[in-house]
Structure 1
Amino acid sequence: MVSLLRQQYQLVRSSRAVMLKFIAEQNVDVNTPVPAFHNKTVGFMLLHVANVYRHWLGNFGMGNGLGYYDDSAPTDIGAIRDAFDDVDDLVNAFFNKFGNDLDLPIIGTISGGRQFTFTPTELFTHVITHEFHHKGQAMSMCSLLGHTPPDTDLIRT
């Protein structure tokens, strides 16, 4: 089953690449606050996505104690690409660790001392659906900033 999840993640990466290429080619200012999104920026949204991967796969899933990207600081497309390169490495490490036991219950504590149990499959599903949700928001933000985004939901191989 890990082979299927790896293939699925390659499709996620392909869609992400279309988005990042668009942002770079259009010179989207990833630091411009967008009022319709509570004055968050495209940079905030994308680093938030990377942080969620770090939190759920790296820290909750693998107990790594990873720090987080400062999603409130000014950034650029290069730093965002670097963050997603780190995410790719993290996902690979996650698959390497749990690939033979994707139904293993992982018990962890999150903010407020709340304890949860999730499987690697559940954690992976959460982070990729979360990415697609926020990718859509980032593309909407680009549109509100005057750029016409490409369709990033098409599956490309």
Structure 2
Amino acid sequence: MYTTLLQQYQLILSARSSLFNSCDTLPKELLFTPLPSFNNESIISQLVHVANCYVFWLSNSAMQEQRLYFKDEDCKNMEGVRQAYGQVDLVMNEFLLHNNNSLQEQRVITRPDGSTLFRSPFELFTHVITHEFHHKGQVVNMSRQLGYIPVDTDVIRE
């Protein structure tokens, strides 16, 4: 299953690259424009939030490593976002290698509020990638609201 998840993550990387390339076409100030329809979040803040979701669930929770979270101000442009996601890719690779033989084994996960839940590495993998796609859709919608037509960012593209 490890190889399959690694292949699936490669598809995620392709869709992410398409999104990031689309964001490269936006004027820098629009990347930081808060949108009321998105709780005054910006495109950059959405992308940083997703990166931090990977860190929280895969590294800090599942592998019990305490990695620092990314900050909006550390991602001053799309190159900064790409650097953050380079770290995310390392987290994903480490997570998949670490859980190669136990992807279905339930683990205790402690949330920031101290509550606990049981989830398998496979469930966590599924959560972070679907969470990324949820926010990818929001970023596409945000760019439309800012007056730009984004490129196709689906896994299967023309």
- TM-score range (shorter-chain normalised) is over 0.9
> SS of the residue aligned with 1:112?
coil
Residue 10 of structure 1: aligned partner: 10
Residue pairs, 1:3-152, within 5 angstroms: 3-27=3-27, 29-71=30-72, 75-152=76-153
Amino acid corresponding to residue 132 of structure 1 in structure 2: F
Amino acid corresponding to residue 115 of structure 1 in structure 2: T
Question: RMSD between aligned alpha carbons?
Answer: 1.7
Structure 1 position 78, deviation (Å): 1.0
Task: Output the CA distance in 2 between the equivalents of 1:111 and 1:15.
Answer: 30
Task: Output the CA distance in 2 between the equivalents of 1:38 and 1:107.
Answer: 32
Amino acid corresponding to residue 95 of structure 2 in structure 1: F
Structure 1 position 71, deviation (Å): 3.4
Task: Flag the 1:73–1:31 CA change in 2: closer, same or farther, 3 A.
Answer: farther
User: Contact 1:109 / 1:116 at 8 angstroms: preserved in 2?
Assistant: yes
Identity of aligned residues (%): 39
Task: Output the CA distance in 2 between the equivalents of 1:80 and 1:93.
Answer: 20
Moved over 4 A (4+): none
Runs of 5+ in structure 1 lacking a partner? none
Task: Output the CA distance in 2 between the equivalents of 1:90 and 1:73.
Answer: 18
Task: Output the CA distance in 2 between the equivalents of 1:154 and 1:86.
Answer: 21
Q: Deviations over 1:58-116 (max 9, x none)?
A: 01110111111123777311111111111111100001100111112211211221011
Task: Flag the 1:156–1:88 CA change in 2: closer, same or farther, 3 A.
Answer: farther
- Which is further off, 23-32 or 87-96? 23-32
| TM-score, L = length of structure 1 | 0.93
Runs of 5+ in structure 2 lacking a partner? none
Task: Output the CA distance in 1 between the equivalents of 2:14 and 2:113.
Answer: 36
Number of aligned residue pairs: give it. Answer: 157
Task: Output the CA distance in 2 between the equivalents of 1:27 and 1:35.
Answer: 19
Structure 1 position 30, deviation (Å): 1.1
Amino acid corresponding to residue 150 of structure 1 in structure 2: V
